[in-house]
Amino acid sequence: MKSLPSLFGGVEAGGTKFNCVIGRSASEITARASFPTTTPEETLANALAFFTREIETQGPIAAIGVACFGPVDLNPHSPRYGYITETPKPDWSNTDVLGAIAGELGVPAAFDTDVNGSALGELTLGAAQGLEDFVYVTIGTGVGAGIFSNRQPIKGSMHPEIGHLLMPHDRERDPFEGACPFHGNCLEGMVAGPSLEKRWGRKAETLPPEHEAWDLQADYLAAMCWNITAAYSPQRIILGGGVMKQAHLFPKIRERFLRVMNGYPCGAAARDPNHYIVPPQLEGHAGEAGAILMAQAVAQEATGTMAV
């Protein structure tokens, strides 16, 4: 029997940057490239050029996994499967991301949201190892979540959009109207990096730990963790993304979460916030690890055998 290529491709397609990797497994990356997300034409051409070049030097890949910012079409029976659909990000609406990369390379492909990719990476190699039910949330340019139940991502008719949950908003304490173009003061409109920048007039990474911004931020994120707990009863909530590099937020969020929970009987996991609300373990690499894992799974499906 002809042996399968032992290399896999992965793309973490983010709204700020694209990370492309080739590897033997999620923990054995042999090449990587990163470039800013500019126009679809330029960015997708850069991704395709990376894979074409690496395949020439390293050999063929068995499959590719693409974990993409959204909203995306995840329905394999839809004519727009693999597309970014309607996004406020200029120029990217109705873009065939999967076709422009995997279609051009002619290899089996898997497609999912960026957060489901990161969640899969954390499930296999990071902070969700051994769990059945958990939620990975990114608080970065936007807010999104990968919700895993029985070790599988919940997809539904599109995919969950935790970022657009409506939040309690005390306008006396916090008169900011929010920055979401659809809802104003939804979760993303209040806590994503660009929302913080709009509200405080400076980039989130320049706000010192004692700034009042972080108390408000912790209040909203504690309410989010409670809403996620009430809706999905996960065993753990992982909070990642650029804004969560502010590590001092974690104790603040846990303390407020306990206050919001207010003794409600919601499962053992949530009663121990130190192990319940946690940072990612793979740092910036969860998405690319997840994309490689997605590629391995689709290669196995395509052949019905283990790729070696």
**Footprint of ligand ADP (CB under 6 A):** 14-16, 138, 140-141, 193-194, 203-205, 241-243, 245-246
- In angstroms, the CA 303 to CA 4 distance is 9
Between helices 114-125 and 286-303, what is the axis angle to 10°? 90
Q: How far is the CB of 78 from ligand ADP (least distance, A)?
A: 25
Which lies closer to ligand ADP via its Cβ, residue 18 or residue 226? 18
State which residue has the least CB distance to ligand ADP.
193
3-state secondary structure of 137: strand
95 interface partner picked from Zn ion, ligand ADP, none, CB below 5 to 8 A per type = none
Q: How far is the CB of 266 from ligand ADP (least distance, A)?
A: 28
164 interface partner picked from Zn ion, ligand ADP, none, CB below 5 to 8 A per type = Zn ion
Q: How far is the CB of 268 from ligand ADP (least distance, A)?
A: 31
Which residues are CB-neighbours of 122 under 8 A, at least 6 positions away? Answer: 128, 129, 134, 136, 238, 280, 281, 282, 286, 290
Which lies closer to Zn ion via its Cβ, residue 61 or residue 186? 186
Question: Do residues 297 and 110 touch, judged by C-beta distance below 8 A?
Answer: yes
Question: Do residues 165 and 223 touch, judged by C-beta distance below 8 A?
Answer: no
245 interface partner picked from ligand ADP, Zn ion, none, CB below 5 to 8 A per type = ligand ADP
Which lies closer to ligand ADP via its Cβ, residue 283 or residue 301? 283
Which lies closer to ligand ADP via its Cβ, residue 9 or residue 280? 280
Which lies closer to Zn ion via its Cβ, residue 100 or residue 196? 196
DSSP 8-class letter at 61: E
Question: Do residues 194 and 181 touch, judged by C-beta distance below 8 A?
Answer: no
Site string for Zn ion, 170-209 (x = CB under 5 A): ----------x-xx--x-----------------------
- In angstroms, the CA 303 to CA 153 distance is 23
Q: How far is the CB of 99 from ligand ADP (least distance, A)?
A: 22
245 contacts Zn ion (rule: CB under 5 A): no
In the chain, beta strands by DSSP E: 7-13, 17-25, 28-36, 61-68, 83-84, 95-96, 109-113, 134-139, 143-149, 152-153, 236-240, 277-278
| Footprint of Zn ion (CB under 5 A) | 164, 180, 182-183, 186
